[in-house]
Amino acid sequence: MKGKKKHVEGGLKSEQCDSDLAKEEAVKVPEKKGSLEKDIEGLQAELQGQKDRYLYLLADFDNYKKRAIRERSDLMKYGNLDLIRSMLTAVDNFELLVDAASKTAVGDEGLIDGAKLAIKQFQDNLARWGVVPVDSLGKPFDPFIHEAIGSEVVADKEPNTVIKELQKAYKIHDKVLRPAKVIVSSQKSEKIGDKGEKNGE
């Protein structure tokens, strides 16, 4: 009987130990749960940071692709500006030749017509590349399109109106390739004397 008692007492002690362990584990579970929740929150924050970085890189790459497409398009449109500018000089010289020959040459109409045809062919070829002349005569002065070389008093024109075009302006697509060199109208200025009175009064 003593063996059974010891066994029962041992079993009770074992159950009591298991119960104590269960209580200790029950106390540790909320601690572990809190620790695990903190770990989960940390991992979620890290994941959100990684998602944000991914979205930023994705947007940055998308902007890069758009910029590369735009730069390639601009290169196609504007890549040959130096060549075109040099051709404009040739067109200017032909136009000066035609103007001078028209005023002085007699009987050379065939030569003048040939030069006019060459100018037309130059301008047609330039137009295929998006290069077009800009009309300036009679238009208000625009500093983005015109370069004022001088001014003249003209009674029947508004001030700052282009009255002479010494060199044509050209645009390529939507940009000014070369501004026009122009003379603009100005108002008659009245001179003021030493005493602040108008001369002649």
pLDDT in tens, 49-62: 999 999 999 999 99
Tell me the domain boundaries of the chain: 1-78, 80-129, 132-188
85 Cβ partners below 8 Å, 6+ apart? 177, 178
Mean pLDDT computed over every residue of the chain: 81
Distance of CA 195 to the CA centre of its chain: 54
How far is the C-alpha of 93 from the C-alpha of 167, rounded, in Å? 10
How far is the C-alpha of 166 from the C-alpha of 92, rounded, in Å? 10
- Taking CA atoms, 169 is separated from 1, 114, 175, 194, 201, in Å, by 123, 24, 11, 43, 45
- Residue 178 has φ and ψ, to the nearest 5°, of -150, 130
For 132-188, the fitting CATH number among 1.20.1250.20, 2.30.22.10, 2.40.420.20, 3.30.70.100 is 2.30.22.10
- Taking CA atoms, 66 is separated from 13, 37, 63, in Å, by 77, 43, 5
Write out pLDDT tens, residues 58-102: 999 999 999 999 989 888 877 888 888 888 988 998 888 888 888
pLDDT at position 150 over 50: yes
- Residue 73 has φ and ψ, to the nearest 5°, of -65, -45
pLDDT at position 28: 63
pLDDT at position 100: 86
Provide the whole-model pTM: 0.59
